[in-house]
Structures are given as structure tokens and as C-alpha cells.
Amino acid sequence: MGNKQTIFTPQQLDAYQVGHSARREAGLFYRYHNLAPQLVPLDYTSKPDVKLPYELIGSMPELKDNPFRQRIAQVFSEDGEGNMTLDDFLDMFSALSEMAPRDLKAYYAFKIYDFNDDDYICKSDLEKTLNKLTRNELTEDEVRMVCEKVIDESDLDNDGRLSLEDFQHMIVRAPDFLSTFHIRI
Amino acid sequence: MGVTSMRRRGTLKTGLLPGGNVALEKIGLTEEDVRDEIMSEEQDLVKELVTMSTRECIQAIRDLPMCMEDKKNIRNQVLASKSSKKGFLLTCSADCSEQISLSLRRCGVGLSSARQAVRLWQGTMKEIGGRFGTSVLSYFSFLKWLLMFNTISFLVNFGFITIPQLVQTSGRSPDVRFTGLELITGAGYFNQTVMYYGGYINGTKDSDFKYNMQLAYFFTIAAYLVLCGVSLIYSMARSFRRNFVLSDLSSGSAWRLLCSWDFSMVNERAVRQRKNNLRVQLKESLSEMMQTNFLPVSERMKQLGIHLCTWVVSAGLAAGSCAAIYYLCQYNLQQIKVSQNPGNLKEEASTLLLPFVVSLFNLVIPLLYSLLSKVENYSNPRFQIYVIILRNVFLKMSILSILCFHWVNNVTTNVPMCWESYVGQDLYRLVIVNFFFSIFGSFFGEFLRRIIGTRCMPSIGIPEFDIATNVLDLIYAQTLTWIGIYFSPLLPLIQMIKLFLLFYLKKVSLNRNCQPPRRSGRAAQMQTIYIALLFFPSFVGALSLVAYTVWCLTPSDSCGPFQGLNTTFEAVSLWMEDTAIISEFSWAVWIYSHMIKSELFFFLLALIFLVLIYFFWQITQGRKMLIILLKEQIINEGKDKAFLLEKLRTFQNLSLVPYHAENVHGPQYFERTYQTESDYSEGYQRGACPEEDTPPFASSALMQAMMARRQAEEEDEEY
């Protein structure tokens, strides 16, 4: 394995302190590089503009069985399609690491579950989440009832959909969230 | 704080720019206006960050919900403005200190990355977490945590007690031959070595060796136990605060659907199974909703009767096992009195009968308890788990208390030689036999059950990993070790080796024989309960036994560092008397005689703590009321927001009539007008389905507020 100093300049390394995966840039960089060795140069000191397509990201062993892998890639990518630069990649694993605080994780989890990107989790978003999690094996009625129950339980300001604050309030009452919203790499 | 506004800013940027130009023009705003708004918010944030110290600043930037490029921008701006501020006062020393702190930070980063690389079992735990989920992983983390306690204990004891003793008695070797049986019975060859209390001697009387073994022994063990206690209380309090205080006691659908999916599962089969489990649980909770919970009175009385019966039966089983163990202990003592030949192999082997029976009871009776719980019918599955845990803890602790009672009352008076070494050997045997029974239990509980479940009776299926039983087993073994520290200072070494081997055994058994758990339970709350159990009956019990031994019991006359004293604590009193002569340490002697020895001091201390507890309890009550009030306030704010938005929309509908004359239906339909424009929907492709009625803008309330402000400015200009 090469030295951290040969991949990044010291200024770049300092700049990466803004992420929560701050001490693992070298390991994460090598994971990124191994996804497409011919596309990703080993020397990032000149800040090359390299973007890996979603298919490569989605084939990583940590993500390939995750039902939300497409949403995760879309949320963290710059272009919104799932094609990630190295910064996006580091961002993703920083937010999903164990050191990220609860608010940050809640924010990104909210964005992942918000399928239509309108800043609210409405009933259709909940239905899509439910279908991804149960392999479409619940009946229409059951899906509808579960989504209604979810909104009933967690909608604080009674507007029929979950805003970020409602979602965060629910997360505060679920202490397991910090350990389940976590991808080990 | 700037954070909430920055969140809106992030969504504003991503929501508008892809296809928003056309729509923006329609409502009279240009892209520049939006950009200006974003820039001004950014500048506010930078101003806020500049006032913080460097470390707080880095932490605040880390916690911002933005992509890395934006965070780097913010960081550069903050650094630029900080250095421009300092530009006027730039001196050589300020520059140097800046460089030093930077290099220190880089050094710290390097060190912690090195530390990460050598973490024990990191890869294995990732694998287990990926296949079985976080609740099974919690057992292995608990094991690792206990391993750390034992490692510290061993190092401390070895360094401060054993090494001086070995140095002191180098050259002397025990006169008994080593046979292999000692590894299990702990007696024989080990009897006179540093393994037990009896192998330590206070050498200051005989030779010039200046190491006071009495004080070393006492203070090492006391310091370690205090450290353990503090660390346990800290973990327990932190875990309690995180997992119990804020959490909702009922597990509803919302939590199950949105918060409980385990993102770290990487095995396809495990993911499929987890999806099945979730589906089953959701169906169950839906059917529960539809069922009515009213039972007639006779049913209720019957349930109550069954509960009472099962409790009586479990208490009876526990009492019966305690009585059996007590009689066995008495029998053992009588055997010692009767026996003439101390080196007899058969007699040594018969000492193994007691640990064998204890471990057998610990293995079999919990199985009977789980059978009993199948007879009872609990409406809440979590409550059922609590009851099972309570009964198991009660059983284990009552067995331990009978053993302690036997040691403290009967052994001290009836054993002719070193009674502390005898107790140490008993504990050693209990620990070793417990290990064998853990392997046994794993073999029967998991391996054989899988064979039966897959070949003979497929209805049973593959077993799950029983977390509760295994964790309680670990807690029991740790209690034995903590009790044994005083009587056998090297017992933590045995426990360390045992835990190390147990990790690998359990891992192999888990991978081959078990399936992931069906119910995704509240793993975090169970963690808190296990830590609390480790503290309350386990550590506190061990500490009280050791304290009682030290304070009240007479050490044996023929062996050990405390020979000849009335109680072990007398060593400290004698030492204090000796130092009273030296005038420099009179303050220490004063502290000892007026604070540690006087009861009035502790009485006053307890009184002060009670008052503080009452005070904090009142604060908690006040905060609870505040939370209720704030929740009501949130609901009211939501209603206000909806009302005001509606008003704003109707007002703007009226003022922009040429665009939307045909679409003035009501508040919900204002946003839909943009979706009917085909050129707009081309630009906005990500995620939104055309047939859904969702607003295209990220934050329509903010857009409308900006519009309203723009209109108000225009009206001002007109006047």
C-alpha cells in the first residue's frame, strides 16, 4: 500500500478533516480505486475530475444487497444520478460511519426515504419504502394501513406528511437508529 | 443556529437549478435572487463559525449536512477570514503556534489511524454484524468489553503483586509434583504458587526486601475494584441516558418501518430473511390493531393464577438447587476433615463434584424456565424476555450467595490450613468447569438442535442464537472472577484465556448452526439492561463480599501476606500509625482518622447526596412538563403554518390572475400548475412521477416567502 502523502497533498488531507471518515481516507481511496483501476489515477494531487458510474458503486459488496443502494447513491452523488466522485464517495461513508452524529444521519436517512425529493416524506414515499423492504408481498390494503399508521404515529404538525423535524423527533425515540444506519467498511 | 438554514439552502439549490429557470421566471424571481439568498445565508454561517475555537469549528463543519465540496468551501472561507483578522496582529510567535498546532493535529491523526489498524477482531465483528445484525453483534462486543476488564486486572495484579513476590521467592520451588489434573482442580502443584493468596508472603519482616506486600496487595485490589466500579457506573449511566430516557416505550409501525432496517447487513440470504421477518412483524402488528383486547374476568383470573404458579415453581426450583448445593458443600468440608492423605488423586477429583453440580443447575434450570414461560401467555413479547432474564438472574445470584455464605461462615472456621487458598481453588474450579459447560451448552443448544431441526424434525427449524442466556453466562463468570480477585490474584488470566477461546468457539458455532434473529428487538435497550445487571447484582455483590472479607474476617495464621493480623484492614491502620510518627504526613493521618474511620462523615455525606438526588428529581419533573408543553406548541405551530400558507396562496392567486385564472381551486393545487407545463417537466426528471400530486419545488413555503418579500419591496418602491 502506498503512502497517504503520495496520493494527496498535505493541504488536501487537511481539507478532508471536514468529513467523519477523516482518518481513513487512504483505505477508502483504495476501495474507490479498486472499483475501476483504469479510470481512477493513483495520484490525486492534481485534483482530477473522475466520476464512477452508478453500476460500479452499486456492485460494491457493502451495497449490493442493500435495498436502498440506488437511493443512497443518488443522495450522495453530485449529479443526483448515482455517479460518484471521490468526494461523494468519502461523503457517503463519512455519513454512514459510526462517528457521524445522530442529526447528520437523520438528515441523510430522511433524504434517502424521500423518493420524490420534495423535502417531505409523503404517503407515496412510504409506500415505496415499504415495497422495497417487504418485496411487494403485502396486499394493497395492508400497505395503505401501514402507511396511515406510520403517519398517524409520527406526524406532529398534522400536515399529512413527515417533515424533517417529525422524522428527527421519531429518530430521537429510537436509540437503535445510530447502530443500524451504519455501513461498515 | 445556522445549521437549519443551511439545510434549507441545500435543498433549495438541488431542487431549483436542474429545471427551474423557466418556472422561476413565471413567479418573477431570477436565478440571481436565489443565489444571493444562498450567499447571504452562507456568510451568516461563516461569521458564526469564525467566532468559535478551531476544534469547535472543525466539529461544527463536520456536522453540517452538506456535500464535501461545500464543506471545503466553507472551511476555506472561515480560514481566510480568520487569517485576515489576524493579519494585523501577525507576529512570529502566532505563526509558530499555528504551525505547531497544525503539526500536532496531523500527528494525532496518524496515531489514531495506527490505533485503528491494530483493533482486535475488527474484521470478524464486521462479518458477524453483516450476517446476523446488530443484536447478535452486541453479545460479541460485550465479550470484548469484559476481556478488556480482565486484561487490566491481570496486568495490574501481575505487575504490582506477583512480580515482587516472584522476585522475593526466586529459588524456592514447591515440593509437590505437577500432574495434569491440576489444570482442572487447581489444587496440588498450584496450591503453594503465586496463583493463590497463600503463595504471597510479606517479606519485610524476614529480610531487607523493602516491598510492603500487605499494602501492595490491599491497595492494588482496592484500586482495581474502584476503577471497575467507576467505569461501570459511567457506562451504565451513559447507556441509560441514550437508550431509555428519550425512547418511546411502545414499538410502533413507524419505528419498525423507518428506523429499524439494518444497513450493515451484507449477506443476500440474511437480507432476504430480514425482509421476511419485517413483513411478518408488520402483519402481526396490523392484526393486533384489529383484535380487541378485552378478556372476561374468569380468563384474567386464570391468567393470574398461571403466572403465580409459574413464579412459585421457579422460586421453588431455585431454592431446591441452593439447598442441594449447600449440603454438597458441607459434605465436602467433612471429607476434608476425614481425609488423611492430602495428595490422593481420587479425593482431588471428588472436589470437582461441586462445580459440576453448580454448572449443571445453571444449564438445566434455565431450560426449565423457558419451558415454563411457554405455558404462560404474555401479551407483550418484550415483557416475556424481561421475566425470563429476571428469573435466570435470581437463580444464578442465589446460587452464588449460598456459596459465598458457605465460604464466609463455614470455611473460615473449619479448614485447617489456608482457608483463602481453599476458597481460591473453589473459584478456580467453578470458572474452569463453567467454561466446559459453555462449550457443552453450545454443542447441545446449537449444533445438535440444528441437526435435529434439519434432519429429524423439520418443524423446529434452525435455532437462533440465544443472546440472553449467553450474556447472562458471561455475567456469571465475570462475577466469579471479581469475587476471586482477592483469593486468587491470577484468576483474571484464566478468565482472559477463557474469553478468548469462547469468542472463537461461539463465532464458529454461530456461523455453522444459527440463523439471524426473527424478531428485530430493541437491541440498544437490552444492552443497557445487561450493563446494569453487570453492575447491580454482579459487581456490587462481589465488591460487598470482598469488602466484608477485608473488614471483618480474620486472615489465616499460617499463610498469606496478612498473617498474624486480626483483620486485613488492620494492615492499613498499622501503616497509618507508623506514618503518624513522621510529621510531614500528618495531614494524611488526619484524613484517615477523621474521614475514613469516622461514621459521622459518611452520615453527612449520605445526607448531602440524598438532598441532591431530591433536587435533581424535581428538575426532571419540571423538564417533563416542559416537554409536554413544547409538543403542544409544535402542533400549534404546524396549524399556524398551514393557515398562513393557505392565506398566502389565496392572496397570490388573486394577484397573479392572468397566469392561473383557471386553476384557482384551493391551496393544494397551486403547485400543480407547473406540472402541466410540458417544458418544465422535461427539465425535472429525477424521482418525480408525473401522475403524483407532489409539489415540484423543494421548499414552496420559502419560495413563497421570497416572492412575498419581493412584491413588498416593489410596492415600497412605487410609493
Q: Average pLDDT of A48-68? A: 87
Residues B70 and B138 in one domain: no
For residue B289, the model assigns a pLDDT of 63
DSSP letter at B598 equals -
Q: Tell me whether residues A65 and B266 touch, CB distance under 8 A.
A: yes
Domain assignment of residue B41, given as a range:
31-82
**Among candidate residues B284, B265, B285, the one with its CA nearest the CA of residue B517:** B265
| B319 inside domain | yes
For residue B515, the model assigns a pLDDT of 84
Q: Give the gap in angstroms from C-alpha A43 to the nearest C-alpha of chain B.
A: 19
Residues B329 and B397 in one domain: yes
Residues B380 and B231 in one domain: yes
Residues B44 and B164 in one domain: no
The number of domains in chain B is: 2
Handedness of CA A18, A21, A26, A31 (dihedral sign): negative
Asked whether the beta carbons of A122 and B692 are under 8 A apart, the reply is no
For residue B250, the model assigns a pLDDT of 56
Asked whether the beta carbons of B54 and B22 are under 8 A apart, the reply is no
B 565-624 → A contacts, CB under 8 A: none
Please give the Cα distance from B137 to B126 (Å, whole number).
9
| CA B685 to mean position of chain CA atoms | 45
Q: Tell me whether residues B260 and A87 touch, CB distance under 8 A.
A: no
Residues B146 and B45 in one domain: no
Residues of chain A found within 8 Å of residue B246, distances taken between Cβ atoms:
172-173, 175
Question: Which chain B residue's Cα is nearest to A149?
Answer: B253
Q: List chain A domain ranges.
A: 20-96, 102-184
Please provide the CATH number assigned to the domain covering A20-96: 1.10.238.10
Q: Which residues pair with A52 in a beta bridge?
A: A84
For residue B680, the model assigns a pLDDT of 37
Residues B414 and B561 in one domain: yes
Residues of chain B found within 8 Å of residue A116, distances taken between Cβ atoms:
687-689, 692, 694
Residue A121: phi and psi, rounded to 5, are: -95, 105
Residues B478 and B539 in one domain: yes
HSE toward the beta carbon, residue B136, CA cutoff 13 A: 29
Burial status of residue B567 (CB atoms within 10 A of its CB: 0-12, 13-18, 19 or more): middle
Buried b (16+ CB within 10 A) or exposed e, B11-35: bbebbbeebbeebbeebebeeeebe
Residues B151 and B65 in one domain: no
The interface predicted TM-score (ipTM) is 0.86
For residue B127, the model assigns a pLDDT of 85
For residue B86, the model assigns a pLDDT of 67
pLDDT band per the 50, 70, 90 thresholds, residue A145: confident
**Among candidate residues B714, B669, B689, B686, the one with its CA nearest the CA of residue B20:** B686
A117-133 residue pLDDT tens: 888 888 899 888 888 88
Tell whether B525 is within 8 A of chain A (Cβ): yes
For residue B2, the model assigns a pLDDT of 47
Give me the residue from A19, A109, A122 closest to B62, CB to CB: A19
Residues B230 and B142 in one domain: yes
For residue B246, the model assigns a pLDDT of 65
Residue A84: phi and psi, rounded to 5, are: -115, 135
B666-690 residue pLDDT tens: 444 444 444 443 333 333 333 333 3
Residues B168 and B309 in one domain: yes
| B666 inside domain | no
Handedness of CA B607, B612, B615, B617 (dihedral sign): negative
Give me the residue from A80, A156, A175 closest to B634, CB to CB: A156
Buried b (16+ CB within 10 A) or exposed e, B280-319: ebbbeebeeeeeeeeeeeeeeeeeeeeeeebeeebeebbe
DSSP letter at A121 equals B
Give me the residue from B11, B266, B282 closest to A119, CB to CB: B11
Domain end residue (candidates: B525, B542, B565): B565
Residues B233 and B310 in one domain: yes
Tell whether B111 is within 8 A of chain A (Cβ): no
| B489 inside domain | yes
Three-class DSSP category at B537: helix
Three-class DSSP category at B271: helix
DSSP E strands in B402-551: the ranges are: none
Please give the Cα distance from B267 to B705 (Å, whole number).
48
Tell whether A138 is within 8 A of chain B (Cβ): yes
Cell numbers for B509, please give them.
458455532
A 11-50 → B contacts, CB under 8 A: 13-20, 22-24, 26
For residue B498, the model assigns a pLDDT of 95
pTM above 0.80, yes or no: no
| B113 inside domain | no
**Among candidate residues B492, B469, B464, the one with its CA nearest the CA of residue B153:** B492
| B450 inside domain | yes
Q: Which residues of chain B have pLDDT under 50?
A: 1-2, 7-20, 22, 659-699
Domain end residue (candidates: B530, B546, B565): B565
A 92-121 → B contacts, CB under 8 A: 94, 96, 101, 103-104, 107-109, 113, 115-119
Would you list the DSSP string of B354-402? Answer: HHHHHHHHHHHHHHHHHHHHHHS--S-HHHHHHHHHHHHHHHHHHHHHH
Cell numbers for B389, please give them.
432474564
Please give the Cα distance from B557 to B573 (Å, whole number).
19
Cα separations in angstroms, A142 against A134, B286, B348: 12, 8, 67
CATH entry, A102-184, from 3.40.50.360, 3.40.50.970, 1.10.1380.10, 1.10.238.10: 1.10.238.10
| B194 inside domain | yes
Domain end residue (candidates: B536, B565, B594): B565
Residues B51 and B182 in one domain: no
Please give the Cα distance from A123 to A137 (Å, whole number).
18
